[in-house]
Amino acid sequence: MNTLVIGASAGLGRAIAERLAADGHALYLIASDPRDIAALVSDLNIRFGVKVTGESLDLAKLDVAALRRRVHESFGRVENLFYIAGVSMLDSGPVADDLAVRLIEVNFTAAVRIVNAFLLDLKEDGANLVGAGSVSSSRGRRTNSVYAAAKSGLETYFAAMRHFLVGSQCRVQFYRLGYIDTRMTFGQRLMFPALKPDQGAKVIVDNLGRDLGAVYLPWWWWPITAIIRLLPWPIFKRLNI
C-alpha cells in the first residue's frame, strides 16, 4: 500500500514507519530534520527492500499543493495517511506569539491542510486516515495550554472527517496519546509510565482497516482523564497540572 507519514523521523512516527516498511508498504516520509529523514529513508530501503521516499519540511511553512504533486509523482494515490507530527512545550499561561503560532500550525493547521489535500485519495476503497492527539486535551489547564488547545482542535477535525467519510471505505483512527518514551521525556519525573514507541506503533499499525474513531493509547489513560474531567472546579483549580 502507498502510505504517507507526517512526522516520521523520531519516536512514535519512526517506529510506525519501520513497522509499515516491514509490512511491505511503499512509504513517503516527512519530517523536519533533513539528516534524520535521509538516514531513515536509507535504512528502511536497505533493511526491507521497499520503496521509500522522504523529504524535510517545515510544517509551519507548507506549500500543500506542491507536496501533493510530489507525493503523487512518487507513487500515485495515497492509501494511508498518518499525521503523527507534533511540537510541544510546557507553559504556564500565555506564550510568545511566534511560539503560539508554531504550536498551532504544526499541531493543527498543517494537519487540516494536508488531509484536505488528499481527501479524494482517501475516499477510495481501502484507505486509512490516522491521527495522533494527546490526553492533555482532555481538560483545559494552566500548563501546555496552546498545545492542548491545538490537539483538541485536531481531534474535533478528525471526528468531522470520520463523519464526512461515511459511505466511503476509508477507516479513521485517532489516538489520544499519553507519555511516549522519547528524548523529550528522558530523565523527566513522569506521573505515569511512558509508552515505548515500538509498542504504540504495533497497536496503531495492527488497527489499520478498523473504524475506531478516537481511542486512548495506552487504554488506561481513559479512567485517568475521566477523573480529571469530573473534578469539581473548587478542587481542580488548586491542582498544579
pLDDT score, position 189: 58
pLDDT score, position 185: 44
Cβ neighbors of 228 (< 8 A, separation 6 or more) are 138, 139, 236, 241
Please report which helix (H) or strand (E) contains residue 217, including its range. strand 213-217
pLDDT score, position 111: 97
What are the boundaries of each domain within the chain? 2-236
pLDDT score, position 186: 43
pLDDT score, position 115: 97
- Averages of pLDDT over runs of 10 residues in the chain (241 residues) are 93 96 97 92 94 94 95 95 88 77 95 96 91 92 89 97 93 94 56 85 96 93 94 92 76
Q: Which CATH class is domain 2-236?
A: alpha beta
pLDDT score, position 53: 95
